[in-house]
Amino acid sequence: MQSIYTSYKCSTCSKEFVLLTEDVESIQKDRYIACPYCSSKRLVKGKVTDDLRECMKARVYKRVKGALKEIK
């Protein structure tokens, strides 16, 4: 069974984000993944899991107007 979520950490701004593994694999070969915060291509692949809570365990998140915001 394939894992659903893949976490990435940006080497430039040190922020972490999670993408669906299916979406990452469906990206065309001539495209690349960039950081949504600073648009850098320098990413480090983190955990690949089935549970979103496992990807988010290392950080602290708070809900702000319905969206999750990283605090620490």
Q: Which residue has the higher pLDDT, 26 or 52?
A: 26
Query: How many separate domains does the chain show?
Result: 1
* CA 50-47-63 angle, 5° bins: 75
For residue 16, what are its two tokens? 């972490």
Q: What is the pLDDT of residues 44-69, one digit of tens each?
A: 998 888 887 777 676 777 888 988 88
Gap between the Cα atoms of 12 and 30, Å rounded? 22
Question: Which pLDDT value is given to residue 34?
Answer: 94
According to the model, what pLDDT value does residue 1 have?
A: 59
- Strands of 4-66 (E only): list them: 5-10, 16-20, 43-49, 61-64
Quick: pLDDT tens for 27-39: 888 889 999 999 9
Looking at per-residue pLDDT, the higher value among 42 and 62 belongs to 42
The domain of 54 spans 5-70
Category of 37 on φ-ψ map: left (φ > 0), alpha (ψ -120 to 50) or beta: alpha
